[in-house]
Structure 1
């Protein structure tokens, strides 16, 4: 499958481009970015072509991989789907429900495949753990805490990201937390006023309490504001089988992204598709509304 890469930032360079260039069943057919000079440099490093017109790139590929701010991603994903291109998108799908719904509707109308890169659902270590807990079942409650130092003093290429500065950890790493909890505990109905509650903490910290449609409950804490010494990711489930904790992810991001490429290449739909990503956006939007 010939992939066009949309985006030239650190995530595109360090994850998408590396994984696509190395994948045995994918070809990095071209790069487009909002900064033409960055697209030319990234394309040269991987022996492919830079495009100054995104529609020209669509014409040269079978699928697009997107590493752009979510609300830029949404509009381009709609255009790519209309051009008949399969979509390998990033989370969140969009930061508004109408934007995310437009992508999901475009995928359905065009009949193209879609996979959204929720990292923990594709990294082999965490993906196996999630699958095991789904089989075990009978979980009473869970929690997912994502303490990131991106705004708290870490030397990170994402510290200056305008969309992350605007939307905070709720929208950046909140999708990761939800992708674990909903995979095991079930859906959350954002239209149920008692299913999503939210409270602010220091900096961009947000605490969520969720009620899942199957009866379980969970909590989420996400932040980019902790100092590096306080950083860490924890997910835990409690039920009749006891207490289990998500193992630390061992694989680098390009390995997980390669698994997402595999999922898009497969014929059967993947659970982390545009429709699922729309649901995640709906839950996050409900949480944001509670905060207001």
Structure 2
């Protein structure tokens, strides 16, 4: 599979390009970015070609990986699908439900495969845990805490200057990760029953799941560095189960996501983390955001 990269920012440099360039089963065919000089530098570093025009890259590849802000990703994903490219996308799929639906619709009409890179879902220990708990069932409640320090003392991070993270906050940045773990274990969300603000961009969300369980999310990018971290726990008839820490680097997880895209393209079988799942996550985030806006959060 010939795959191109759309984007040249920190995530593209740290994860996407190294994973694609080092993948034995892919041909890393080129890079396009909104900053041509950055595309040239990234392409040279990984022995591939820089494209000045995104549509020219789309015409030359079988698939694209996208490392761009959600609104830019959504627009380019539609164009890529129309060009017949399989889609390896980032979370969140889009900043609005309408844009996310446009991506899903374009992929379905073009009959291209899609995978959204929820990092935890492609790390081996968490992936096995999620499958085990989903099979076990009988869950009564769950909780997820996804606390980052991006705006709470880690401003030297290359992601701290991200305009979309500043605008959308933890709900849209780390919320997708929490949902990607809870949904396959507890079932789809019937409704968001509450959403309340906390310090900084912190939000607390309460979910009612189709399987009868309820869950709570605490999401933040404003935690003090010493308080940052992730914890997910579910409780039910089998007792309590805690999500194990993912020890593999994001590059390794992203390479697995690329493998998943290749398999979905080869077999025609949708991956559990496809664009349709990304749309569902977007719908839940939008519902929580609407509650926050309505209540002045």
Residue of structure 2 equivalent to 1:163: 164
- TM-score norm. by structure 2 comes to 0.96
Structure 1 contact 145–234 (Cα < 8 Å) conserved:
yes
Tell me the distance in 2 between the aligned counterparts of 1:111 and 1:69: 24
Tell me the distance in 1 between the aligned counterparts of 2:135 and 2:234: 13
Q: Is the partner of 2:272 in helix, strand or coil?
A: coil
Tell me the distance in 2 between the aligned counterparts of 1:89 and 1:101: 14
Tell me the distance in 1 between the aligned counterparts of 2:252 and 2:118: 13
Tell me the distance in 2 between the aligned counterparts of 1:247 and 1:271: 20
Q: CA deviation at 1:225?
A: 0.3
Matched, 1:252 2:243: no
Structure 1 contact 196–286 (Cα < 8 Å) conserved:
no
Query: Pick from 190, 210, 213: which aligns with 1:213?
Result: 210
Matches within 5 A, 1:1-292: 1-154=1-154, 155-189=156-190, 192=191, 195-266=192-263, 267=267, 268-292=269-293
Q: Is the partner of 2:189 in helix, strand or coil?
A: coil
Runs of 4 or more off by more than 2 Å in structure 1? none
Number of aligned positions between the proteins: 288
Tell me the distance in 2 between the aligned counterparts of 1:256 and 1:183: 18
Q: CA deviation at 1:290?
A: 0.2
Gaps of 5+ in 1: none
Tell me the distance in 1 between the aligned counterparts of 2:184 and 2:95: 21
Tell me the distance in 1 between the aligned counterparts of 2:152 and 2:34: 28
Gaps of 5+ in 2: none
CA RMSD of aligned residues (A): 0.8
Q: CA deviation at 1:64?
A: 0.3
Tell me the distance in 1 between the aligned counterparts of 2:186 and 2:261: 25
- TM-score norm. by structure 1 comes to 0.97
Tell me the distance in 2 between the aligned counterparts of 1:86 and 1:112: 5
